[in-house]
Amino acid sequence: MISFVASHGTVLKEPLGLFDDDSSYVDDGGTFRDFIIKQNEDVLTLKSFDNLGHNSRSPSLKTVNVNDYGAKGDGKTDDTQAFYKAWQVACSSSAAVIVVPQKNYLLKPITFSGPCKSNIAVQISGTLEASGNPSDYSKDRTHWLMFDNVHKLSVKGGGTIDGNGNIWWKNSCKTNKKLPCKDAPTALTFHKCNNLVVEDLTIKNGQQIHVSFQDSVNVKVSSLTVTAPENSPNTDGIHVTNTQNIQISSSVIGTGDDCISIVSGSRNLLATNITCGPGHGISIGSLGAEESKEFVSGVTVNGAKFSGTTNGVRIKTWQGGSGSANRIQFQNIQMDNVTNPIIIDQNYCDQATPCTKQQSAVQIRNVLYQNIKGTSASDVGVQFDCSKNFPCQGIVLQNINLQLEGGGKAKASCNNVKLTYKGDVDPHCP
């Protein structure tokens, strides 16, 4: 059968001692350390196949080519049923690899459901293109391609997933204020997929979010290229919700919204070697909308480059919510012409009317910014707009150098934040 083995990455050098030892609200570093160790022990990776698509230890591996089940791959014929038939065969096999050759396959919404009998690899060499007819999504406007409850799954192969999102962007309320706001499909969704590998794919022109990881455990994501026009609305690159133990590495993301968005229930996320731009940066949140109680913890971004983005590293929460964003590290980051390089916004308000001031807030604590340099497109390179009743706590800045794009000194704006400086930090809070 297809075998999974532990992937042991490099353990990060820990700056954990930077948090003040005498602070009652600062973690002692043990949880960060446990996160990194567990992350490298738990995330699984699929062994590679040989040129014939067979694993040397899996003589009974079944190869399922979508063309053998009626797929035309001419970019015009609806190939949805052929893909569904191929999936049914693979899912009921003792071990299988689904092969998508180098053709252009037109697909309507489809869900690949588990649990399956054994491990499955999906080898995408060609292009999957979404139907551009909104009526094809009448049963579910929120998904195009979805893997649901499939464990020990690998999706890779160097191919392209094209959401054909232009028709959705034109009819978005963010593009045309006169239109009502409606859902649009996520291009690729992984829901309840444990021990998952997704790598070496291009995902472009998502109808809305490009790829979403939901309610999953032990996920390895690498070598993705995610692209959409800068003005495409709500086209987050990688979206993570209620998922634990996830690595995202060596990926290039440029879209009309967040390059990576991390929302409630996400825990133990490690992002390394990320190139972001255009887009809205890497965001934790938004959290706490509609007075909800939400939690995010154990997030590390180590090694990233932001070019021309609206934000760099951002934490955003609504007033009136509760819960926490805790144990977060942003390290070794280059900012080039970024409007808000470092920003915490506990007064986030994404609605047409002003948000009502409220007393409660999502607590933000134990956040490290280390080795961040580059240029700010705005006067304010560092902005902490925190809650008066729930101030940001345990915020550490070490070795920060942000200057204005074109020369000159950037400023810092800091409200209701408890800060510690280490090393050279510019700009400083007033």
In a domain, 10, yes or no: no
Helix, strand, or coil (residue 22): coil
Confidence of residue 286 (pLDDT cuts 50, 70, 90): very high
- Residue 141 token pair: 């406007």
- Residue 33 token pair: 């350390």
Residue 36 predicted with pLDDT over 80: no
In a domain, 54, yes or no: yes
Q: Model's pTM, two decimal places?
A: 0.89
Residue 177 predicted with pLDDT over 80: yes
In a domain, 241, yes or no: yes
151, 239, 280, 428: which is the annotated catalytic residue?
280
In a domain, 4, yes or no: no
Instruction: Identify whether the C-beta of residue 377 lies closer than 8 Å to the C-beta of residue 333.
Output: no
139: left (phi over 0), alpha (psi -120 to 50) or beta: alpha
**Domain interval for residue 259:** 16-426
Residue 34 predicted with pLDDT over 50: no
E strand or H helix that includes residue 234: none
CATH number, residue 355: 2.160.20.10
Condensed to tens digits (0 to 9), the pLDDT of residues 193-245 reads: 999 999 999 999 999 999 999 999 999 999 999 999 999 999 999 999 999 99
In a domain, 318, yes or no: yes
Question: Parallel, antiparallel, or unpaired for β 186-191 and 211-214?
Answer: parallel
Helix, strand, or coil (residue 306): strand
In a domain, 312, yes or no: yes
Condensed to tens digits (0 to 9), the pLDDT of residues 135-175 reads: 999 999 999 999 999 999 999 999 999 999 999 999 999 99
Mean residue pLDDT across the chain: 89
Active site residue 54: no
In a domain, 7, yes or no: no
In a domain, 11, yes or no: no
- What does the angle CA 290 – CA 295 – CA 299 come to, to the nearest 5 degrees? 130
Question: How many structural domains are present in the chain?
Answer: 1
Which amino acid is it at 331? Q
Confidence of residue 41 (pLDDT cuts 50, 70, 90): very low
Residue 118 predicted with pLDDT over 50: yes
